[in-house]
Chain A
Amino acid sequence: MTGHRTYVHGVMGEFETPEQLVSAAKRTREAGYKHVEAYTPFPIEGLSESIGFRWTAVPLITLIGGITGAITGFGLQYWCSAITYPLNIGGRPLNSWPAFIPVTFELTVLFSAISAVVGMIALNKLPQPHHPVFNVDRFAHASTDRFFLCIEARDPKFNLAESARFLQELNAKHVSEVKDEE
């Protein structure tokens, strides 16, 4: 096929235990690499911090969603019951706010939950069916029992041969080049 050029996404090392991976990740950061990603079959405490990822916007997005939900919920009921469709029942107050609490609460939870999930998926840039790391044959083990560390090519310090050697020095079992077609 014409026009298909392969490019290098990075170099990936495979580890057998979470401890090896976390210590390798720390040493990779110490060696000055900035664009590093780890792949593990389950979440590992402290791993994302050791590759330099500390802050996520998911809680903030959820909070904003929740506040929006609360305002929407109460505003909807106030507008319906007191402004656009007021029903005078024995002179009782139109803005009967205690009766509006359940729906306000439910909409707060609904908006927060949707924000949390959509926020998480969007920040993870999903759905993204294709990614260069899937080209590595052994990468399927990342969802079973192997732990991977990938030094990405966009890192200024990246050099295919050197970075691969560096991963080998960290005792990675297999080191492979991550390639993809443009």
Chain B
Amino acid sequence: MSVTQPPVNSAHIRRLDPVLEPGHTYASVTDKIAAVVLTRPLGIGWLAGFTLAFSITMVLFGSIAWLIVKGVGIWGINIPVGWGFAIVNFVWWIGIGHAGTLISAILFLLNQKWRTSINRFAEAMTLFAVACAGIFPLIHTGRPWMAYYMFPYPSTMGIWPQFRSPLIWDVFAVSTYGTVSLLFWFVGLLPDLATLRDRATKRYQQVIYGMLSMGWRNSARHWHRYQSAYLLLAGLATPLVLSVHTVVSFDFSVAIVPGWHTTIFPPYFVAGAIYSGFAMVLTLAIPLRKFYGLEDFITMRHLENMAKVMLATGLIVAYGYFIEFFMAFYSGNKFDVFLANQRLHGPYSGFYFALILCNILTPQLLWIEKVRRNVAALFVMSLIINTGMWLERFVIVVISLTRDFVPSAWGRYSPTFWDYSTFVGTLGFFVMLVFLFVRGLPAIAIAEMRELVARDSHGKKEYQ
């Protein structure tokens, strides 16, 4: 110990921002979060935002209706690019969902207390993203009313799914993911629904929250089993979330198409999923805390931590891009070398450079503390990263399919109006669900916030 070491309470040591601003009690956190749902009147901002999102959702439904009438020919897909926007959007949306499960399950197992105020809406985001993702492979089948063919059921034709195909693995992975995310979310909500039931003053609120909370009465035995189930769900969701994007990457990497057939795909897809998911959590959290005055609960600490996770996963993604190039040249496989050159110099190279700019170069600004602590900068950054992640999937799908082995099989791809309207439609659908969620259910886990208050009031110092 040197004599010059500053005292522990020195102003020279930068304190971490609190996870919860001081001065809150059990009642104050409960009041503040429940009031958003129970008593706050519908503002003009919410109504305007909801109306816009609802209108865009109608564009989605219209586009799907037209697709069912006319078939997938209204899209820009062709031979060789049979996947196009539908699969790009599917992978993008399902990736976004991953941050919700990461926050709610993995950070729970790692005992990271800062997850508490963001886990609820991150899980909601997961569900809504999976709902958007699920639309695409379904309508991409061309005859969505036949989609049940993918499930193993005793058909009169006596045929069964091909379980050696990653596309069937995908059906199981995504449907399991959606179901488990919903269960996890509902279990987390159960005590909060009971809180809303007890505080509701209007009859219809009492009836709705009363039914949803199923008679939860906060008894010690209930809590004991609840905690046991919650921990088990977290333990189950952790390998599940890693498996889902791994299986999605198998859709590509099990094929022999140049640019897809690489072993780096599973880890780099998972990292990319978490990367884009955290970006989406920031995109939602920043307006939410601002408009509903929740800055005490979603503090700079949360935003900065999420920025750090983005920086770390962004670097893993950058490493993935690098290894793709390295392996192409190191292997000497002429198709892989050709594809790498096509990414840099081919007809879609503009997308590739935009991707590098969005996903690798811009996020390096997150090394700077001032940027990580600037709310506006983080918001813009989150939009840039989500754009970049969408471009990544576009580059993977389109460049490889338009430039595979034989020049006679090459082609070009350009999306049509219906491709764009469907994609933008899912954005509207997602935002609409988020709008409904923040007014219908507690956006922050109330019971867990009370736990945090109890912990803080006992003077237990938090570590990192």
CA A77 to CA B210, docked complex, whole Å: 42
Question: Could you give, for residues 15-29 of chain B, a 1 whenever the CB lies within 8 Å of some chain A CB and a 0 otherwise?
Answer: 000000000011100
A38 near B163 (CB under 8 angstroms)?
no
Q: For B180, list chain A residues within 8 Å (CB).
A: 109-110, 113
Question: In the complex the two chains form, is A106's CB within 8 Å of B198's CB?
Answer: no
Evaluate whether A120 and B225 lie within 8 angstroms (CB atoms) in the complex, with A107-B172, A145-B30 already known.
yes
Bound complex: CA A124 to CA B224 (Å):
10
Secondary structure dominating the interface of A: helix
| Closest residue of B by beta carbon distance from A144 | B30
Q: Which of A76, A100, A105 neighbours the largest number of chain B CB atoms within 10 Å of its CB?
A: A105
Interface stretch of the complex, out of B120-128, B336-344, B443-451: B443-451
Verify if B250 is at the interface (C-beta below 8 Å from A). Answer: yes
Would you give the shortest CB distance from B301 to chain A, in whole angstroms? 21
A-B contact count (CB 8 A): 185
Residue of B whose beta carbon sits closest to that of A25: B220
Known: A109-B236, A126-B216. A41 touches B447 (CB 8 A): yes
Binds A, one of B152-160, B321-329, B373-381: B152-160
B169 at the interface (CB under 8 A from A): yes
Give the size of the chain A interface in residues (CB under 8 angstroms).
58
Q: In angstroms, how far is the closest chain B Cβ from the Cβ of A124?
A: 5
Task: Say yes or no for A71: interface residue by CB 8 A criterion.
Answer: no
Given A103-B163, A109-B236, A116-B229, answer yes or no on A37-B30 (Cβ-Cβ < 8 Å).
Answer: no
A residues 113-172 touching B (CB-CB < 8 Å): 113-114, 116-117, 119-121, 123-124, 126-131, 133-134, 140-145
Q: Smallest distance from the beta carbon of B440 to chain A beta carbons, Å? A: 18
A38 contacts B219, C-beta separation under 8 Å = yes
Q: Is the CB of B232 within 8 A of A59?
A: yes
Given A42-B454, A81-B160, A129-B215, CB of A110 within 8 Å of CB of B228: no
| B164 close to A (CB within 8 Å) | yes
Chain A residues in 8 Å Cβ range of B169: 102-103, 106
Q: Which residues of B contact A85 (CB under 8 A)?
A: 158-160
Q: How far is the CA of A166 from the CA of B27 in the complex (A)?
A: 28
B179 A120 Cβ-Cβ under 8 A: no
With an 8 A cutoff between CB atoms, is B161 at the interface?
A: yes
Given contacts A43-B226, A56-B224, A134-B217, contact A110 B176 (CB under 8 A): yes
B214, closest chain A residue (CB): A127
* Stretch from B133-141, B239-247, B401-409, B420-428 at the A interface: B239-247
Interface residues of B (CB under 8 A from A): 25-27, 30, 152, 158-164, 166, 168-169, 172-173, 176, 179-180, 183-184, 186-187, 191, 194-195, 197-199, 210-211, 214-229, 232-233, 236-237, 239-240, 243, 247, 250, 447-448, 450-451, 454
- The 5 closest A-B CB pairs, nearest first, are A145-B26, A120-B229, A127-B214, A80-B160, A48-B224
On A, residues with C-beta under 8 Å from B are 18, 37-44, 47-48, 51, 53, 56, 58-59, 62, 76-77, 80-81, 84-85, 87, 96, 99-100, 102-103, 105-107, 109-110, 112-114, 116-117, 119-121, 123-124, 126-131, 133-134, 140-145
